[in-house]
Amino acid sequence: MVKLTFFGGVNEVGGNKVLVEDRKTRVFFDFGQSFNFGAEYFTGWLSPRAINGLGDHFEFGLLPKVRGLYAKEQLAFTDFPYVEPEVNAVFLSHAHFDHVAHICFVDPLIPVYLGVGTKLFLESMEETSSFCDYGEHEYQTFRTGNIIRVDDIMVEPVHVDHSIPAAYGFIIHTSEGTVVYTGDLRLHGPRKDLTEEFMEKAKECKPDALICEGTRMTLKENRRNYSESQVERLSSRIVSSTGKIVFTTRYSRDMDRFRTFYNVAVNNERRIVVSPKTAYLLGKLNEDEHLDLPDPLKDEHILVYFKRKKSGTYDDADYHVWERQFMDKMVTCKFVHKNQSRLIMDLDFYQFAELIDIKPPRGSHFIHSMSEPFSEEDIEDEVLHNWLDHFGMQFHQLHASGHMNKKQLEEFVEHIKPKHVFPIHTENQRLFKEKCKNVQTVEYGKQYIL
């Protein structure tokens, strides 16, 4: 008997935790954290205590009590007994938080399968962020074309296009039929060919179940969405029409967007200024020859911005060891101030205080290349605009989503023709049911038999 159980991503965007069981074989696909995880009980500095392992999470039912899944030390202060692993493997579709974050609780004895590039992302995050720790795991990397046998289940990872490189969907062959899991994907990105390939493979295997993401399954989209090439064209138009500095802010792991702004800089005879964190990530991703990203140490178009720290004199000792390798590429606020007309600068919202030192002239540009805020009362958005107004900067909203829109989702499902569709990673299962055939709406923790 083959069973599917959903412990996350149910009526919410993100936090996917999908359990596939075939007789005695039990495999999780993704083990992420919801974006509003625990928001009813925790806020700001009131957060679950790491020292209590899963204790604080179990108190409020924030993680499922699954036997043989969690690390011994995570269960030490709970009444849920530790047993040897009864879950055979965890597969990760891509390195976004809402798909990977909770692997920190998983027993190190359970192997974690992930794409070659995904592993580089996780390593980079652990190495450059003091609060990021995914725990000890036996990682096994895969690429498209590999077939991984986990006892009774065979898993075929197939690359897809999403707003992070090294994203995969999975074709899962069980004793009772085939299950396809999309992970997150889009059809309007620079590598839509990857998603198309996944779509064809999924169709060919005539799946019994399609576990499908539905981020943009909404009646009406109020937010503007462009394709990646439109973002590039419109950004280039802004840059070519000004002699002033252009700041950009984007999701830190969206390397397509990095490449977009890199191209815009090169095509407009400018250089791109990035943070040491971005430089480190680029260096790391250079280890994967499939990703084709510039090497920050060698590429003359890339400069690395160092903030003042500790001594305030840009002394080597002020910086983390991992940052120091980029000191030859270092630029400071003074350099940026002096060379504004020849630069595009990646500037995260949380680094806005640097603007005080950079002193951009009025009429400089700011491209917000992320999702628009969900609500009109978004406090960070208000603060962001206060800063831009203070410096007299011009605001531009240019973003390409990482997900298929409603029409594409409908066509995607129609093309694959699965016997059953299980919508996850969506707030609108009901609309899924209206728009697509054979939809089985999903309840948290309920078992569905294939």
Binding site for Zn ion (CB under 5 A): 14, 98, 184
Cβ distance to Zn ion smaller for residue 184 or 288: 184
What are the angstrom distances between the C-alpha of 208 and each of 173, 218, 234, 259, 409?
10, 25, 43, 38, 18
- Beta strand 365-369 pairing with 394-397: parallel
Please report the sign of the dihedral spanned by the C-alpha atoms of residue 282, residue 182, residue 397, residue 36.
negative
Beta bridge partners of 250: 369
* Residues contacting residue 158 through CB under 8 Å, at least 6 positions apart: 144, 168, 169, 170, 171, 197, 198, 201, 202
CA 347 distance to own-chain centroid: 19
* Residues contacting residue 22 through CB under 8 Å, at least 6 positions apart: 1, 2, 151, 152, 153, 174, 175, 176
What are φ and ψ of residue 201, in 5° steps? -60, -40
Cβ distance to Zn ion smaller for residue 74 or 93: 93
**Smallest separation, CB 213 to Zn ion (Å):** 7
Q: How far apart, in whole angstroms, are the C-alpha atoms of residue 216 and residue 182?
A: 14
**Smallest separation, CB 215 to Zn ion (Å):** 7
**Smallest separation, CB 229 to Zn ion (Å):** 23
Cβ distance to Zn ion smaller for residue 98 or 107: 98
Q: How far apart, in whole angstroms, are the C-alpha atoms of residue 272 and residue 205?
A: 45
What are the angstrom distances between the C-alpha of 391 and each of 222, 357, 364, 384?
28, 12, 8, 11
**Smallest separation, CB 342 to Zn ion (Å):** 37
**Smallest separation, CB 181 to Zn ion (Å):** 12
**Smallest separation, CB 7 to Zn ion (Å):** 15
Cβ distance to Zn ion smaller for residue 75 or 114: 114
Cβ distance to Zn ion smaller for residue 98 or 354: 98
**Smallest separation, CB 98 to Zn ion (Å):** 4
Return the closest-CA partner of residue 391 out of 365, 410, 414.
365
Cβ distance to Zn ion smaller for residue 112 or 367: 112
Cβ distance to Zn ion smaller for residue 183 or 360: 183
**Smallest separation, CB 249 to Zn ion (Å):** 20
Q: Using an 8 Å Cβ cutoff, are 31 and 100 in contact?
A: yes
**Smallest separation, CB 30 to Zn ion (Å):** 8
**Coil, strand, or helix at residue 299?**
coil
**Smallest separation, CB 96 to Zn ion (Å):** 5
Burial class (CB in 10 A: 0-12, 13-18, 19+), 374: exposed
Q: Using only C-alpha atoms, what is the Rg of the chain?
A: 23
Cβ distance to Zn ion smaller for residue 30 or 354: 30
* Vertex 173 angle, CA 416 and 137, to 5°: 115
Cβ distance to Zn ion smaller for residue 9 or 360: 9
Burial class (CB in 10 A: 0-12, 13-18, 19+), 337: middle
Cβ distance to Zn ion smaller for residue 125 or 304: 125
